[in-house]
Amino acid sequence: MKVTAVIAAGGRGERLGGSRPKQLLLLGGRAILERSVAAFVAHPAIAEVVVALPADVATDPPSYLRGRSKPVVVVAGGARRQDSVARAFLAADVASDIVVVHDAARPFVSADLITRTIDAAAESGAAMAAVPSRDTVKRVDRRELPHLVAHTLPRDEIYLAQTPQAFRRDVLRDALALGQTADATDEAALVERAGHPVRVVEGEASNIKVTTAADLAMAEAMVRGGGGAGVRVGTGYDLHRLVEGRLLVLGGVAVPSDRGALGHSDADVACHAITDAILGAAGLGDIGRMFPDADPRWKDASSLDLLARAAALAVEHGYEVGNVDVTIVLERPKIREHIDAMRTAVAKAIDIEPARVSVKGKTNEGVDAVGRGEAIAAHAVALVRARSLKPEA
């Protein structure tokens, strides 16, 4: 399944004020647009990203849209949001099965929300992220002053739309064709009018849209406090059975043993646990989602390589690894003499100094499958922090 992401960034953000489009404003040293694009470039399901920008910006796009790890196509947006999305749709690869549309002004979208929206669209044809209303909703008659309540709506039926919104290519094509003669505030509304059902995916409160000055202040507070960046901590755990005829690889180091861990890749529990910890700290899901064992690409893969990919994804999302700590639990063999080599290998994979990698070995005191020598486990903790970036020119 091929997936294209469309980033709707063709507006001027007039409600926020100022001379620059709001998506180009800096948030914690990085442009709002850069943060949104990075979330989709880093996502393993996304093959390409198409960004619709104001026409004058599209002629000389920001440098962070160039030289990315995946194709990033820039198009000039139109007068309306749906016009910008339609132009981006025409620029997308015709082989794309799913097209995901996201507002550039939502810089804190998580990898997990992107994944769930894509999966729902693949099953149902169209899906949108939305959060249930926490407040009582009133329909108000605005035709005269003073404004009066016309009707109270059932709160449990009210959801507030977000992006991403994902669609099968044919469904979005129908909707955008309808949009040539009809106005709508998002693509899901056009899809509804075109007669297609839209599935709701539980959104995220942190997935805010920067529309007003108050929103920008809230986003800045999230960055400072860790809601969108700052310092974050993740944990990881992995366990594999031990079998004869397998190499025992721990922290990227082959450890002499009469048995090794059984798994789809090289089953390095230390690297797997660290990978999960880094992905969790950066809000990027888990190792099973990023590198599923049903995918033949990861058959017998080096877990050090998977770890390096996870660290690179964190960097794409604006984080750097501060330090990691992993505890390997097994009865035998003893790993003390291999710990320095493991620290060096792990540090190189995640691009930090070995002094910031801790590896410890413990036994399970004869308790359960690990204690009986039938399995091996690892627990890890990772700290990541927002990268300090200079503003883009």
- pLDDT confidence of residue 230: 60
- pLDDT confidence of residue 291: 82
- pLDDT confidence of residue 387: 60
Asked whether the predicted pLDDT for residue 321 surpasses 70, the reply is: yes
pTM: 0.62
- pLDDT confidence of residue 379: 95
**In the predicted model, what is the mean pLDDT of the chain?**
89
Percent of the chain scoring above 70 in pLDDT: 95
Residue-wise pLDDT for 30-69, tens only, equals 899 999 999 999 999 999 999 999 999 999 999 999 888 8
Alpha carbon distance 317, 385 (integer Å):
11
* Closest to 39 in 3D by CA, of 295, 373, 318, 391: 318
Asked whether the predicted pLDDT for residue 388 surpasses 60, the reply is: no
- Does domain 3-225 correspond to CATH entry 3.90.550.10? yes
The two tokens of residue 207 are 């997935």
Q: What is the mean pLDDT of residues 109-132?
A: 95
Asked whether the predicted pLDDT for residue 144 surpasses 60, the reply is: yes
**Could you check whether 3-225 and 231-386 share the same CATH topology?**
no
Q: What is the mean pLDDT of residues 346-354?
A: 94
Q: What is the mean pLDDT of residues 113-117?
A: 95
- pLDDT confidence of residue 393: 36
pLDDT band at 16 (very low <50, low <70, confident <90, very high): low
Asked whether the predicted pLDDT for residue 226 surpasses 70, the reply is: no
Architecture of domain 231-386: 2-Layer Sandwich (3.30)
* Closest to 383 in 3D by CA, of 275, 270, 278: 278
Q: What are the boundaries of each domain within the chain? A: 3-225, 231-386
Asked whether the predicted pLDDT for residue 74 surpasses 80, the reply is: yes
- pLDDT confidence of residue 181: 81
Beta strands in the chain (DSSP E): 3-8, 26-27, 30-31, 46-53, 72-76, 98-103, 126-132, 137-141, 148-153, 159-168, 199-202, 231-244, 249-250, 253-254, 259-261, 319-329, 357-362, 375-386
Q: How far is CA 204 from the centre of its chain?
A: 12
The amino acid present at 153, given as its one-letter code, is L
Residue-wise pLDDT for 289-310, tens only, equals 888 877 777 777 888 999 999 9
Residue-wise pLDDT for 161-199, tens only, equals 999 999 999 999 999 998 888 888 899 999 999 999 999
pLDDT band at 389 (very low <50, low <70, confident <90, very high): very low
Alpha carbon distance 124, 141 (integer Å):
36
The listed range with the strongest mean pLDDT (11-15, 295-299, 367-371) is 367-371
